Amino acid sequence: MKSTLDHATLAEEFNKDEERVDWHDGALWWIRQKRDRSAHQTPQWEELREAASAIKSNVISNLHDYLIQFEENLKKNGVQVYWASDAEEHNQIVYSILKAKEIKQMVKSKSMLTEECHLNEFLEDRGIEVINSDLGEYIQQIDNEPPSHIVLPCIHKRKEEIGELFHEHLGTEKGLSDPTLLTRVARKHLRNVFLTRRAALTGVNFAVAETGEYVVCTNEGNADMGAHLSEVQIASMGLEKIIPERKHLGVFLRLLARSAIGQPITIYSSHYKKPRPGQEMHLILVDKGRSNLLARPDFRDSLKCIKCGGCMNTCPVYRKSGGLSYHNTISGPIGAILAPNLDMKQHADLPFASTLCGSCSNVCPVKIPIHDQLYKWRQEIVKQGYSASRKTFSMKAMALTLSSPEIYKTAGKTGRWLLNNAPFAINNKFNPWYKQRDMPDSSQQSFGEWYAKNGSKK
Amino acid sequence: MKIGLFIPCYVNQLYPNAAIATLELLQKFGADVTYPSKQTCCGQPMANSGYEHLTQSCNDLFVENFSGFDYIVAPSASCVLHVKDHLHSHADEAAATEIRGKIYELVEFLTDVLKIEKLEAHFPHKVGIHQSCHGLRGLHLAQMSELIAPDFSKPRHLLNMVSGLELTELDRVDECCGFGGLFCIAEEAVSVKMGKDRITDHTKHGAEYITSPDLSCLMHLEGILQRNKSKVKIIHIAEILNSSSIKA
């Protein structure tokens, strides 16, 4: 499933079907517009963003204390707590919980963290079947493809393609693509899954240190259905999901769904606190690079992310290249600043998959300066030697040219002369600019030359 | 008022008319403008590619060229933003700091410093404004569509003073054009698609010209327009504001 191709190559592939790009771009832009409308209808929207950012600053500055407080309260509530430093440890913990109860089937509601940890593959290798119960995740799972968006996992698929998948895997009538009918079919299949699974795993949107409860936000109620019917309930959360007090939900719940899809609030904001009689509750706190990120002052603000996906919907590069081009579980602008912290070499291309337009930072509900971090990751990646030597060579040549007024004048003249007298040297297939764009007109003298002749007369 | 005119490298080489218009416009308002002849570039192409550490000699040269002016003005939002955010000097940090505070993009200089309320310009065409992202989200030349805040636009304010000019609308008022410096080469497919979509937005609203405070965006859009034999032209905002001489 891991791709070795870079974002530019995968994006070029995506762009071969322009009509599809237009459809994808339009679908996400429509969501961005919904976000704008609902933000406009919310009094003090910008103050809410500021408050959310400040609360999260407090959290990441005092993470240790909040985590200990959260753990204590979880235990008081009768929840079993585990700490996992990486994906392997996390997966082992889940496996051992299931093994102790001899459970062979589990239902999962959308959790990006377990996607990042490749939990499904890990458990399947050990004979445990996992079904993703969020509809979009379910569709991606039966297609054996990772999610392309953290909130809208199959946003890149058209309803006809989903109909085709359902025909193949769930035996629906060929050609059926009506979303309502397809959803009914999926619901019927999933209903049976919920009724028969003894274990349910959910992600966590907000973990309240003060009370030891955690909140899961969904629109489909699938997290609740799984959790309420299970005898073993497991929650996996990244360390950064902490909020200090329950009252802070009043800030975050107002921002989350509006930023994500322009909806005032998710249909379900479910609070989980104590196991029912006869039920077990387990919560796994996962580091997986978070404490490393905390140790990088330039990048630690990315731990504020509440995974709304707003930056993806607004990003023109994301909209026109598709989430799968980012070859990472978390795609788009936020993925491009989180991924290099985990593996700088493998994700060295992602911070460059941006024009640094800054729209992401403006929609971010917790005010992460995403585009500034993209710029800083570029510096870091080059410093660590993950940039192509060809690029380094041309950058050094450019630096030399631009630091000498004389060489610069000659180079400028030569460039313009070439364009005029030997355009084939520049207008060819080796020049990516020229592939779909003409070169600028270079028939005139430079301003510097003009000024030398005419400037003093002015 | 002594102004140092900063003409970014690619404007100097490829768009001399925009530079001349900038100079003439500033002079019309009585400014004493000098073009330091040893200037080259702000260093942004290297820095945005991750090579900010190679820009020191560029920075030193910039400080050498532009120290001692009351203001530094340039017809390029992106380059101005880069200088504001990243100009530093080992030799003379005080001078670098001063420059970072004194450098203005042309539109903001005309609006905020010279406080222009009247222009003798005539440009009888339908014109669409392309908000450069660095001008918009970096220098705040206009209100950004993502934020909930009162509307304003410095380029629109100036263009409204031009007689005969009709501003055209856009569906997406401040979407990026896809130039993005070396992004336009490294991510050619996405870059061109973004540019094409911006152009379509302008043409479907009847624009004859696309203008901007940033020529880098316009250079990219021009390349696509010309390849597709479009009649729509690009023009730097300084050329429109200085267009009295071509009165119809």
- Could you write out the DSSP letters of every residue in B116-165? ------B--SEEEE---HIIIIIT-SB--TTS-S---BHHHHHHTTSBT-
Distance between CA atoms of residues B6 and A347, nearest Å: 37
Q: How many CB atoms lie within 10 A of CB A76?
A: 11
Judged by DSSP in three states, A197 sits in: coil
Q: Give me the residue label for tokens 């993950």.
A: A386
A166 close to A160: Cβ distance less than 8 angstroms: no
B14 close to A440: Cβ distance less than 8 angstroms: yes
Counting every residue, how long is chain B? 248
Output DSSP code: residue A239: G
User: Is B190–A39 a contact, with Cβ atoms under 8 angstroms apart?
Assistant: no
User: Is B183–A354 a contact, with Cβ atoms under 8 angstroms apart?
Assistant: yes
User: Is A358–B37 a contact, with Cβ atoms under 8 angstroms apart?
Assistant: no
A414 contact residues in B (CB cutoff 8 A): none
Which two tokens mark A24?
A: 């994808």
Query: Does the beta carbon of A410 lie under 8 angstroms from any beta carbon of chain B?
Result: no
Bridge partners, residue B209, by sequence: B127, B233
Task: List pLDDT tens digits, range B74-90.
Answer: 999 999 999 999 999 99
User: Which residue from B137, B180, B188 is spatially nearest to B49, judged by alpha carbons?
Assistant: B180
B222 contact residues in A (CB cutoff 8 A): 438, 440
User: Is A438–B227 a contact, with Cβ atoms under 8 angstroms apart?
Assistant: yes
Distance between CA atoms of residues A364 and A256, nearest Å: 10
Q: Among A8, A321, A359, whose Cβ lies nearest the Cβ of B146?
A: A359
B244 close to B120: Cβ distance less than 8 angstroms: yes
B181 contact residues in A (CB cutoff 8 A): 355-356
C-alpha Rg value of chain A to the nearest Å:
26
User: Is A317–B172 a contact, with Cβ atoms under 8 angstroms apart?
Assistant: no
- How many contacts does A have with B, using Cβ atoms within 8 A? 212
Say if residue A413 is exposed, middle or buried (CB neighbours under 10 Å; 0-12, 13-18, 19+).
Answer: middle
Bridge partners, residue A272, by sequence: A214
Q: Among B9, B43, B190, whose Cβ lies nearest the Cβ of A11?
A: B190
Q: Give me the residue label for tokens 């440890």.
A: A89
Rounded to 5 degrees, what are φ and ψ at A140?
Answer: -65, -35
pTM recorded for the entire structure: 0.96
Q: Give me the residue label for tokens 């929207």.
A: A45
A356 contact residues in B (CB cutoff 8 A): 48, 133, 180-181
Q: Return all residues near A314 (Cβ < 8 A) that are at least 6 apart.
A: A32, A35, A359, A360, A362, A363, B146
Distance between CA atoms of residues B110 and B119, nearest Å: 11
A445 contact residues in B (CB cutoff 8 A): 16
Query: Does the beta carbon of A196 lie under 8 angstroms from any beta carbon of chain B?
Result: no
Closest chain B C-alpha to A405 CA, distance in angstroms: 5
Task: List pLDDT tens digits, range B180-194.
Answer: 999 999 999 999 999
pLDDT at A457: 62
| Residue in B closest to A313 by C-alpha | B146
A189 close to A141: Cβ distance less than 8 angstroms: no
User: Is B37–A448 a contact, with Cβ atoms under 8 angstroms apart?
Assistant: yes
User: Is A18–B193 a contact, with Cβ atoms under 8 angstroms apart?
Assistant: yes
A446 contact residues in B (CB cutoff 8 A): 12-13, 16
| Residue in B closest to A39 by C-alpha | B148
C-alpha Rg value of chain B to the nearest Å:
18
Judged by DSSP in three states, B72 sits in: strand
Q: Return all residues near A30 (Cβ < 8 A) that are at least 6 apart.
A: none
Which two tokens mark B141?
A: 């030349």
Bridge partners, residue A284, by sequence: A82, A236
Distance between CA atoms of residues A234 and A216, nearest Å: 12
Output DSSP code: residue A457: G
Q: What are the pLDDT tens digits along chain A (458 aa)?
A: 445 799 999 999 999 999 999 999 999 999 999 999 999 999 899 999 999 999 999 999 999 999 999 999 999 999 999 999 999 999 999 999 999 999 999 999 979 999 999 999 999 999 999 999 999 999 999 999 999 999 999 999 999 999 999 999 999 999 999 999 999 999 999 998 889 999 999 999 999 999 999 999 999 999 999 999 999 999 999 999 999 999 999 999 999 999 999 999 999 999 999 999 999 999 999 999 999 999 999 999 999 999 999 999 999 999 999 999 999 999 999 999 999 999 999 999 999 999 999 999 999 999 999 999 999 999 999 999 998 888 898 999 999 899 899 998 888 888 888 888 878 777 787 889 999 999 998 888 999 999 999 986 65
To 10 degrees, the CA torsion angle through B68, B73, B78, B79? -40
Q: Among B33, B184, B226, whose Cβ lies nearest the Cβ of A438?
A: B226
What ipTM does the predicted assembly reach? Answer: 0.96
User: Is B147–A362 a contact, with Cβ atoms under 8 angstroms apart?
Assistant: yes
User: Which residue from A160, A170, A163 is spatially nearest to A193, judged by alpha carbons?
Assistant: A170
**What secondary structure does DSSP assign to B23-39, as a single string?**
HHHHHHTT-EEE--TT-
